[in-house]
Every structure is written in C-alpha cells, then in structure tokens.
Amino acid sequence: MAHSLSAKKRIRQNVKSRGRNRWRKQQIKDAVREFNDALRSGDKAKAAEQLGIVYKRLDKVAAKGTIHKNTAGRQKSRLARRLNSME
C-alpha cells in the first residue's frame, strides 16, 4: 500500500482515469457492434451512417490519449474496407 501522499493521490487518479478509459473503449465497442449489425442486415445506408459515428468516437478517444492515433486509423481503415466491399 502507498505511504506517501503523492502515491495515494496517484492511486486515486489512476482509478478515475481507468474508469474513464474503460467507458471510452466501451463506447467504441458499442458503435462498432451497431455498425456490424447494420452490415449484416444488408442496409448499406445505415452502415454508412454508423461508420460516421464510429469515426467520430475513434477520433475523440485517440485525441484523449486512450488509444493511439495509429490504432484509431487502422480500425477506421478496416471498417471502411468492409463497408466498401459490401455489394
């Protein structure tokens, strides 16, 4: 257990930031799940709309530092490729 005041404060900060990061990552997972559902249903317009939402969330999370910007870019590229391959 931490003894110094600064170490105790870091523990409190880490708990808060971990909660925020987990919430942000869950937002991405939920958006990607909705995008995948739209793809499976065959509704290209709805999938394209969902892709915009996923892009927005990925960019926000990358800007906050929860995920790396290259990771966000890679995920966006893969999702766009899946949408474009849809007939």
Q: Which domains does the chain have, with CATH numbers?
A: 21-84 (1.20.58.110)
Please say whether the dihedral angle defined by the alpha carbons of residues 56, 62, 66 and 72, taken in this order, is positive or negative.
Answer: positive
Name, in order, each residue with C-beta under 8 angstroms of 42's C-beta and a sequence gap of 6 or more: 86
Neighbours of 27 (CB within 10 A): 17
Give the pLDDT score at 27: 98
From residue 74, alpha-carbon distances to 30, 70, 80 in Å are 18, 6, 10
pLDDT band for position 52 (50/70/90)? very high
pTM for this model (two decimals): 0.88
Q: Are 20 and 49 in contact (CB under 8 A)?
A: no
How large a percentage of the chain has pLDDT more than 90? 95
Give the pLDDT score at 16: 98
Comparing 1-5, 19-23, 49-53, 72-76, the range with the smallest average pLDDT is: 1-5
